[in-house]
Structure 1
Amino acid sequence: MRPINEAHVAEPGLAVVEVAAADDATAFAVQQLLAGRCAIAPAERTTRVPGEPGVRLRCFLDLRQAPGL
């Protein structure tokens, strides 16, 4: 994965979440759970790292737009 861009964490309430999961379905299920709690810029695909198990997914959260948090 590419390095995290400073703009993605430039102020309080912004976060980058990286998910490691056994498969695509699990990674996207975690992303969907996050989307139910706050505004996100979702990932469209997972990545695989050669020699490492499972898949990875990175999404960007904006907790400032989180209902009830």
Structure 2
Amino acid sequence: MEIDEQHSAEPGLVVLDISAADEDTVRAVMEGLQQQWATSGVTPVWRTPGEAGVKARVYADIRRPSTPG
């Protein structure tokens, strides 16, 4: 999966690829990240044929704290 340049074009913008054994773990990580920073939220989880586990991608702006609520 290719990273769109706009998501990492400035300091403080990051793209995080998350890999884990199961969907619950990946979702827990994404939820934790969105509590800390402004993120793309809980994104779709996918499996790659022939590889163990699941993956997800989150875009975050670590310059901005999360929005309460």
- Which interval holds the TM-score relative to the shorter structure? 0.7 to 0.9
2:43, 2:58 within 8 Å by CA — same for their partners in 1? no
Identify, as 1 or 2, the structure richer in strand.
Answer: 2
TM-score norm. by structure 2 comes to 0.88
RMSD between superposed Cα atoms in Å: 1.2
User: Where does structure 1 lack aligned partners over 5 or more consecutive residues?
Assistant: none
Aligned residues: 66
2:7, 2:13 within 8 Å by CA — same for their partners in 1? yes
Tell me which stretches of 4 or more aligned residues in structure 1 moved more than 3 Å: none
Q: Distance in 1 between matches of 2:43 and 2:63?
A: 23
Map 1:41-52; keep pairs closer than 5 Å: 41-52=40-51
Task: Give me the identity figure in percent.
Answer: 39
| Deviation digits for residues 13-41 of structure 1 (CA, Å, limit 9, x no counterpart) | 10000110111111000001111110000
Map 1:5-20; keep pairs closer than 5 Å: 5-20=4-19
User: Where does structure 2 lack aligned partners over 5 or more consecutive residues?
Assistant: none
